[in-house]
Amino acid sequence: MSTTTTLTPGAFELNDVQQQILNEAERFSREQLLPLAQKMDDTEECPDDLFDLFARHGYLGITIPEEYGGQGLGLFEQGLICQAMGKYNASAMLTWGAHDNLCANNIYRNANDDIKQRYLPGMCNGSIIGALGLTEPGAGSDALGSMATTAVQDGDEYILNGAKTYITNGPIADIVLVYAKTDLAAGHRGITAFVLETDTPGFAVAQKLSKMGYRGSPTAELVFDDCRVPAANMVGELNGGVGVVMSGLDVERIFLAPAAVGMAERCLELSMEHATTRKQFDKPIIDFQAIEFKLADMWIGVELAKAYTYRVLAMCAEADESDAGHGAIHAHSAAAILYATKMMREVADESVQVHGGAGYMWEMEINRLYRDAKLLEIGAGTQEVRRGIVGKYLRGTMG
């Protein structure tokens, strides 16, 4: 557990160490990632040396202990870095997050030491790129119940057959933390997680997918055709994949909430700059009350979401593994990303309005943020799923 995660009880301000981490991550993201953003969006690709860049500046393995080559920090610090990266290059943030949080952090929390020793050092130095393989072509919100990918044991191996879709880092991943049915009769209780190396015969990238937003973060459909995975690559227990999934989903949700905060901060920043320099009727448009009110509402939304996000980040960072997937942690992580991403979409929409016709142009940064905003209301559980989680929690507290 990181020693820097705890917020002062009742307060929502960062301490000096946390503020320094955020400031340095913002400097890195502004200087190194922002200049890459437009080309990544235009080409729908990330630079070949992106993970080398992350590694050189110490932004891989944030939550991984130093014994595996990581930084030995906590979820709170990882969230602050996510906020900074989201602010200046959301595509780079998503690619980094899928690797560092969804894959590496999940392996660290759930895998045995042999798997950790084989994969985590490479994930921390950038020589191994990771992805998470959960969603399938016929499944969405019911990712577990509708799972059709199977893993059948054959000696000391499992044979995987099936497909995964909307997989961030799919086209560039060296390993995929993949979920498959190992007991067809057990429904969603018969799912197991494996680390699959993508040079395994039978694995293929079926197609690279073109998206509305986060275009610089490569996404793909993956297929497994009699793909053999060593039983030694099983993460967690046989038929224990649900526990692995649920422990990761709460972390994923609260991890993405600060990304929404950072993106909204950038929208506000760009809108302030535009409103003070753009003149109409012989004065800056910020002098018009209609624009001033929009900026005020944006700022209020950002600050409220930031305070709640930091609170829940601290809760999750200090929580025991057994707290994940149910109860207050489950509800608050869902509520935090629901609120932050709704705020982000509304702020992005108002920011385009402040920019007027210029904001509608594809090459404008505010246009890219507007297109990026929607994904965070869908990924890691839709807004409807998040509301359902909160609703069930509230009904449970009434009993």
Burial of 335 (0-12, 13-18, 19+ CB in 10 A): buried
Distance CA 39, CA 47 (A): 9
Q: Among 24-33, 347-356, 380-389, where is mean pLDDT lowest?
A: 380-389
Residues 215-228 have pLDDT tens digits of: 999 999 999 999 99
Q: In this predicted structure, what is the pLDDT of residue 177? A: 97
Among candidate residues 45, 221, 252, 377, the one labeled active-site is 252
Q: Which amino acid is at 389?
A: I
Q: In this predicted structure, what is the pLDDT of residue 324? A: 64
> In 3-state terms, what secondary structure has residue 131?
strand
- pLDDT of 11 above 60: no
**Helices 383-398 and 327-355 meet at what angle, rounded to 10?**
140
Tally of CB atoms within 10 A around 346: 16
Q: In this predicted structure, what is the pLDDT of residue 10? A: 45
Mean pLDDT of 197-226: 97
**Helices 241-277 and 75-88 meet at what angle, rounded to 10?**
40
Burial of 309 (0-12, 13-18, 19+ CB in 10 A): buried
Which pair of tokens denotes residue 63? 């939550």
Q: In this predicted structure, what is the pLDDT of residue 182? A: 96
Mean pLDDT of 75-81: 95
Q: In this predicted structure, what is the pLDDT of residue 259? A: 96
Q: Which long-range contacts (CB under 8 A, 24 or more apart) does 325-333 make?
A: 325/243, 325/246, 325/247, 325/249, 325/250, 326/246, 327/393, 328/393, 329/250, 330/250, 330/389, 330/393, 331/389, 331/390, 331/393, 331/394, 332/254, 333/250, 333/251, 333/253, 333/254, 333/257
> In 3-state terms, what secondary structure has residue 75?
helix
Mean pLDDT of 92-107: 96
What sign results for the dihedral spanned by CA atoms 180, 182, 187, 190? negative
Where in 246-318 does DSSP place strands (E)?
279-280, 283-284
Based on the residue annotation, tell me whether 252 is a catalytic residue of this protein: yes
Q: In this predicted structure, what is the pLDDT of residue 138? A: 82
- pLDDT of 1 above 50: no
Cα–Cα–Cα angle for 295, 300, 304, rounded to 5 degrees: 150
Mean pLDDT of 235-239: 94
**Are 70 and 120 a contacting pair, CB within 8 Å?**
yes
Q: How far is CA 217 from the centre of its chain?
A: 11
Distance CA 98, CA 82 (A): 11
Tally of CB atoms within 10 A around 52: 14
Residues 307-339 have pLDDT tens digits of: 999 999 998 888 766 666 678 888 999 999 999
Distance CA 386, CA 377 (A): 10
When the pLDDT of each residue in the chain is averaged and rounded to a whole number, the result is 92
Question: Helix and strand tally (H, E) in the chain?
Answer: 12, 10
Q: In this predicted structure, what is the pLDDT of residue 248? A: 65
Mean pLDDT of 49-60: 98
Residues 101-128 have pLDDT tens digits of: 999 999 999 999 999 999 999 999 999 9
Q: Which amino acid is at 183?
A: D
- pLDDT of 386 above 70: yes
